[in-house]
Amino acid sequence: MDFLVHMEVGSIGTGEDANRLLKQEADRAQELAEMGHLRRLWRVPGRRENWGIWTTKSIDELHAVLSSLPLYPALHITVHPLATHPNDPNLPLPAKGKD
């Protein structure tokens, strides 16, 4: 299942602890990307938020994946499940019959 996920980062403090937390977050995001869960990620310029495409087998697995993020306690997350659209230009074209 694919999900469009919006994350807004709340307060994480400052200094060495915040830097360590951000490094842990980057490392975990890389792990989740390698596992195929985090497929794309975009930042919102000028804000501490992002939009991403996430893939898991279920919404319960998505919850487990997102809650494994080191920043999870400071994140405000909105999840939008995605379904295939028949007009998606990336879908294969239907086979044409022979003339």
At 97, the pLDDT band (50, 70, 90 cuts) reads low
Q: What is the pLDDT of residues 68-89, one digit of tens each?
A: 999 999 999 999 999 999 899 9
Domain count, the chain: 1
In a domain, 96, yes or no: no
In a domain, 58, yes or no: yes
What global pTM score does this model have? 0.86
Within the chain, what is the greatest distance between any pair of CA atoms?
70
In a domain, 25, yes or no: yes
Tokens 């997350």 -> residue: 77
CATH number, domain containing residue 28: 3.30.70.1060
Q: What's the domain range around 24? A: 2-82
Q: What is the pLDDT of residues 22-78, one digit of tens each?
A: 999 999 999 999 999 999 999 999 999 999 999 999 999 999 999 999 999 999 999
What tokens does 89 get?
A: 């230009």
In a domain, 92, yes or no: no
